[in-house]
Structure 1
Amino acid sequence: MEKTTSKHLWWQEGIIYQVYPRSFQDSDGDGIGDLRGITSRLDYLKWLGIKGIWVSPIFPSPMADFGYDISDYCTIHPLFGAMQDFDALLHEVHARDMKLILDLVPNHTSDEHPWFQESRSSRDNPKRNWYLWHDAKPDGSPPNNWLSVFGGSAWEWDEPTQQYYYHAFHTKQPDLNWRNPEVQHAMLNVMRFWLDKGVDGFRVDVMWHMIKDEQLRDNPANPNYNPLELPYRQLLPTYSTDQPEVHDIVKMMRQVTDSYHERMMIGEIYLPVSKLVAYYGADNKGAHLPFNFLLLALPWDAQQLASAISEYEGALPPGGWPNWVLSNHDKPRITSRVGKSQANVAAMLLLTLRGTPTFYYGDELGMRDVPIPPEEVQDPQGLNIPDKYLSRDPARTPMQWDDSDHAGFTVAKPWLRLPENFRKVNVKTQQDDPYSMLSFYRKLIRLRQEEPALRIGDYAPVYTDSQAIAYTREAGEKRFLIVLNLTHRPCYFNPEHEAFSGTIAISTYLEREGTPISGTISLSGDEGIVVRLAS
């Protein structure tokens, strides 16, 4: 376990906030968020207590996957502004003692990227081997059975050159061949370009996809496939993801970030804990934070969550720093998953566990998934698999700033519709309301910033039953007890081996704050408490 006496860096002590740029703030009246819009809202993020701002892709793109199909890694999409707008954003972020993290998408490019345009121009083009091209089987079928996350085969036939190319996602997102040293050199130089400009780190998209089985072996069938899931899950991606050689690539990327002062790298990795922790690398020379999505994936059940937290803490390599995520642009929002009454409990869990918390814009307001009519769906995952209602649009709707038309996000029609209740659920109405979710988030964040025990302290599980989770955080002489009721019914915490006494510092029920506790602790349904323990 990381000792509280060691030096902690900004990405260990601070909170990371994900901005989906299309949906955060529109500054030019086209209904789509942009860089100047983000800059105009930095004071809000500073007020909230954010340290790191992770911005989803802002690079030139045909937008087949809303920016995750990049056609130029080293400039800005005109939709979001120009390079001077980015430079201004970076300057203003740093002026507020915050950090800027960019989304890096190294697994694939757009099919409109010049590299791929060259690669597909002929079989003997020097960049042919920058992507994954293979002959058809004798019967003309794809090289193997690998599936695309967005539906159908992951192999696309190219008639002019008579070969298939591989795309793990959209057909317009061909995968790069990371076994090619020229690709490695080019992408590491992309990292250097942005690091030289002063960005503070990267969130690396689909890190575990970056190397594929050299023999192209078929993936095995998934015996536990649920027909309601993505068709992609019909097969286990045994050979198309998480190959041993990927760790060599991650190490190269880490070496680049380590050559700059206090920069960091987050890895997007949807894998079981036992495989996830390998991405820290030998001697922690992999990703600084391999994203831990346990809170996204598990049922909202006290015993399952407590078990997973302990498993994760126990699996971390020496010196490996934990991290936690509640929501992101690919998954349903936390308030939609657990309900409004449990969303505050979820926030308390996120902000009091050991490690770096990341949360998604609007979660601090209790923003929910918004129903998007079929004719308004824009997400390619939803468009390609329309019968399964798997669009990610509902979690990507505009930030709700105030009660004016279009929620203060834009003066035009927003690119995705707003919920009907945005005039009640927004920053303006919640900012001065002590009972609001925004006030609750800010209070939790402030306590976390003030108390090393909550920011960098040791973690110890105390108790779990079918309703509640309890644990302590400790640094030096300061110690806190956190008790969370993950159900709607009252519960009782009666520790067997230690008598806890102290004062409730924060409760999801405002009236209980400042109340002394000792012995058995009674919690209302949907209540979580942070107790400042007597020394």
Structure 2
Amino acid sequence: MMQTQTWWKEGIVYQIYPRSYRDTTGNGIGDLRGIIEKLDYIASLGVDIIWLNPIYDSPNDDNGYDIRDYRKIMAEFGTMDDFDELLSGMKARGLRLVMDLVVNHCSDEHEWFKESRASRDNPYRDYFHWWPAEKGTPPKRWSYFDLEENAWQYDKQTDAYYLHYFAVKQPDLKWENPKVRQEVYDMMHFWFQKGVDGFRMDVIPFISKDITYPEIDAKEPHEYIAYYANGPKVHEYLNELNNEVVSKYDAFTVGEGPGISIDDALDFVHEDRKEIDMFFHFDLMSLDRAPGEVFKMRDGGYSLPEFKKVFTDWDAAFAKAGWGSLFLANHDFPRTVSRWGNDTPEHWRNSATLLQTFLLTMRGTPYFYQGDEIGMTNVRFTDIEDYRDINTINRYETVKKRGGDLEAFMDSEQHAARENARTPMQWDNTENAGFTSGTPWINVNSDYKTGVSVKDQLNKKDSTLSYFKQMTALRKKYPALVYGAYKCIKAEDEQIYCYTRTLESERFLVLLNFSEDTAHFSLPLSVSYNRKIKVISNDKIIDDRTFKEFTLRPWQAIVYRLEN
């Protein structure tokens, strides 16, 4: 039985990190007019929805995720008139817009917090979490970006500590105060009434806190994350947000879901609960991380059976209710082809297109990050001076202060750092990849000179970009690739990821060689059909004349339509 059909299930999402997309002023920072300039290109990709990272007024301690004014555009990005023109241009091309909603925390420069820290009896005091110093040291809370990994910051002005799960300049909002929730809802209405189509909700399960602030029995950072995601009123708040705001519009919401387990998934996204529509789980993002580590990569990478299990288990979670998201990278993680594929010259093109094939033939809404369509790779900075991200810089200082191995840290960051995804979009092979006429805010990856650019790939039939467009068209053509049942074949196979997608009489077989070696694969008897028709392949097929025997080149992807 097919689930309810909606535009956001069928849509393909293209994520834009504005700071790094296109600079039209020469100041080295991407802007809204740069996105306007590229709308025809974006529409040509076959995507339907743009997810825009924060463009709100911000002092940029965490690249826009520290918001100073939720109803004002960051000056570096442009003006509200630019935003209105961007939105109008998107609508004219049939594109929808999803904004980033960052409401677990704001900036310490926001008027609410400036008032809140002014005095203990200020009307805004209870907009944030405060612990008076006379009660002693507050119970331990871990912070993602704090130099001491401590989420409580002492503030001398009122002799109290405030809570910040992220950077010291990102105080957590107190959702337990109904006035805070109403402020958030009013702000969301403001953007919906402008015409936006939804929100990606930053660390949304963290909004509910136990305001008795009990001791937490946790030693490792990831143990705190699970606690943060299961606050006592998280479902009450999400339901209220849906009822008060989202349900009033033809909109959808996708939550960033660190700490949400597969067992709890439907509590957030089951249609009957009316909370959020889907979320990004973190099981895949932690697959190749070192045990107990949030940011460090583990030795040996990942195994294909592990990779399959993540996707197969999560597909099963949403088989009858709810809906899943599909992503391999975003602004917080390394580049797709460098992490899950092979970005050496020999295998770069095939592995980039294989990963495109994978996301566009699985069940769930696929999310692509800017540059995935041309196979952009990790930049692998070796000098701490090249980094701009508070996450890398603060963790470097922590390791240094503790006398740790800085060389090992920098080696790990070459593969794990968020900066790998944040280098400028590569438009052509002119200076700075056509991103800016000035000095870019962060260094450009040098591989734009060797084929990893839009201009170099635009008119080449066998390019990564051309293949991406073929795959988006394919997904739109066949409903089975969106709504069809998924079945993994030979889950234990170390080289080939094989699965079927079936919707009524429409059936597809997908074969993906996740290895640097030629691979042979035999279908089991349980997969029956009378005829197979090749739909697409990212490489020349060696031989598939034998009925159920297949040979795939390194990183080859093949999709067949099966007929009975």
Alignment of 1:34-433 (within 5 A): 34-136=31-133, 140-141=136-137, 143-151=138-146, 152=148, 153-222=150-219, 232-233=221-222, 235-271=223-259, 272-281=261-270, 283-299=272-288, 300-316=302-318, 318-337=320-339, 338-340=341-343, 341=347, 342-372=351-381, 373-386=383-396, 387=399, 388-389=409-410, 390=413, 391-423=417-449, 424-433=451-460
Structure 2 CA distance for partners of 1:293 and 1:491, relative to 1, 3 Å: farther
SS at match of 1:278: helix
SS in 1 for 2:313: helix
Which stretch of structure 1 is more off in the superposition, 454-463 or 143-152?
Answer: 454-463
In structure 1, the gaps of 5 or more residues are 226-231
Provide the identity percentage: 38
Shift of 1:306: 2.4
- The corresponding residue for 2:547 is 518
Query: Counterparts of 1:147 and 1:93 in 2: how far apart (Å)?
Result: 40
Contact kept, 8 Å, 2:266 with 2:321, in 1: the verdict is no
- Check whether the contact 2:208–2:234 (CA below 8 A) recurs between aligned residues: yes
Distance 1:58 1:362 in 2: 19
Instruction: Summarize the Cα distance change of 1:186–1:100 in structure 2 as closer, same or farther, 3 Å threshold.
Output: same
Alignment TM-score, normalising by the size of structure 2: 0.88
Which residue does 1:502 correspond to in 2?
532
Residue type of the alignment partner of 1:328 = N
Residues 354-395 of structure 1, C-alpha deviations (whole Å, 9 max, x = no match) = 110001101111111213331132111112111444552222
- The separation in 2 between residues aligned to 1:61 and 1:25, in whole angstroms, is 19
Q: Whole-Å Cα distance in 1 between the matches of residues 460 and 283 of structure 2? A: 32
CA distance in 1, matches of 2:483, 2:322: 13
Q: Is the 8 A contact 2:14 2:370 kept in 1?
A: yes
Cα distance in 2 between the residues matched to 1:384 and 1:221: 22
The one-letter code of the counterpart of 2:193 is D
Contact 1:269 1:290 in 2 (8 A): yes
8 A Cα contact 1:147 1:154, kept in partner: yes
Q: Shift of the alpha carbon at 1:479?
A: 1.3
Q: Distance in 1 between matches of 2:543 and 2:482?
A: 21
Select between 496-505 and 58-67 the one with higher mean Cα deviation: 496-505
Query: Matched residues in 2 for 1:263 and 1:513: separation?
Result: 46
Is contact 2:229–2:258 with CA below 8 Å preserved after alignment?
A: no
Q: Is the 8 A contact 1:218 1:239 kept in 2?
A: no
Match of 1:434 in 2: 461
Letter aligned with residue 123 of structure 1: R
Which stretch of the first structure deviates more once superposed, 436-445 or 213-222? 213-222
1:10 aligned partner: 7
Letter of the 1:481 counterpart: L
Partner residue, 1:460: 487
| TM-fit CA distance, 1:186 | 0.5
Letter in 1 for 2:360: L
Q: What TM-score, normalized to structure 1?
A: 0.93
**More off after superposition, 237-246 vs 9-18:** 237-246
Gaps of 5+ in 2: 289-301, 400-408
Q: Distance in 2 between the 1:447 and 1:185 partners?
A: 43
Secondary structure in 2 aligned to 1:375?
A: helix
Cα distance in 1 for partners of 2:134, 2:225 equals 20
Q: Deviations over 1:37-67 (max 9, x none)?
A: 0111111111110100000000000101110
Q: Which of 438, 441, 446 is matched with 2:473 structurally?
A: 446
What is residue 299 of structure 2 aligned with on the other side? none
C-alpha displacement at 1:514, in angstroms? Answer: 11
Alignment correspondent of 1:229: none
Q: 1:444 to 1:120 in 2, by over 3 A?
A: same
Q: Secondary structure at the match of 2:228?
A: coil
1:238-265 deviations in Å (ceiling 9; x for gaps)? 5433213111111122224443332011
The alpha-carbon deviation at position 317 of structure 1 amounts to: 7.3
Letter of the aligned partner of 1:480 in structure 2?
A: F
Larger deviation, residues 430-439 vs 108-117: 430-439
Number of residues of Structure 1 aligned to a counterpart in Structure 2: 520
Q: What CA distance in whole angstroms lies between the structure 2 residues aligned with 1:288 and 1:514?
A: 43
Letter aligned with residue 402 of structure 1: D
Are the equivalent residues in 2 in contact too, given 1:506–1:513 (CA < 8 A)?
no
Letter in 1 for 2:274: K
Does the aligned pair in 2 maintain the 1:23–1:396 contact within 8 Å? yes
For the structure 1 residues 517 and 176, does the alpha-carbon distance in structure 2 shift closer, same or farther, using more than 3 Å as the test? farther
Cα distance in structure 2, aligned partners of 1:209 and 1:498: 44
